[in-house]
Structures are given as C-alpha cells and as structure tokens.
Amino acid sequence: MLIILITSLATYISRFLGAFTSEIIDENTKIYRWFNYLAYSTLAALISRMIIFPAGTLAESNYLSRFIVVIAAIIIFKITKKNLVYPTLFSAIIMFLLSSENI
C-alpha cells in the first residue's frame, strides 16, 4: 500500500508541476528544443534497438518482418495525418499476420 501511495504521489506531483509551469515555458527556447531533440533521439534509439536487437517473442521474428512493420507503420502514420492510434494497431496486426506464417 505504501508503494502505491509513493508512486502515485510522484506521478501526480510531476504532472501538477508540468501543468503549473506549462504557461511559463517558452517552446522556442534553446533548452526546450534540446530536451525535445533528446526525447526524440531516445525514442529513435529504443525503436532501433527493438528492431535490431529484439527481446522476448519479438526475437523469434526475422529482420524483414520487423522492417516491413516499421515501414508500414510510418506510412500509416503519414496517411492518417500523424495519428498514433492507427499505426500502433495496424503494426500489431501486420506483425501478427507476418509471424503467423511461421506457425
């Protein structure tokens, strides 16, 4: 119970501080852009790692399947005007269909 309380407190304090300071922060400053670039580069590194050095069940699929899914997700992302829901759903479905051939 204590762990749930502490983690909830940490989550909601950071969200409150983010909402509280969002009016003050200028999005065009160098430090804000640096954090934005850092976040995107970290995300790109994690996605690349999942494709090149996958773990768990994803490691059982071949490289071609993973690259096809990534390319399809990017195309769906562009077609749906940067909506994240459709590429996420369709990439899971495409990966399932590509890996179900191996069953």
Residue range 58-97, pLDDT digits in tens = 888 888 888 899 899 999 999 999 888 999 999 999 988 8
Instruction: With a cut of 70, say whether residue 48 has pLDDT above it.
Output: yes
Tokens of 95: 């990966």
Q: How buried is 83 (Cβ within 10 angstroms: 0-12 exposed, 13-18 middle, 19+ buried)?
A: exposed
The domain locations on the chain are 1-53, 54-103
User: What is the mean pLDDT of the segment spanning 15-33?
Assistant: 85
What's the pTM value of the predicted model, to 2 decimals?
A: 0.58
In the DSSP assignment, the letter for residue 37 is: H
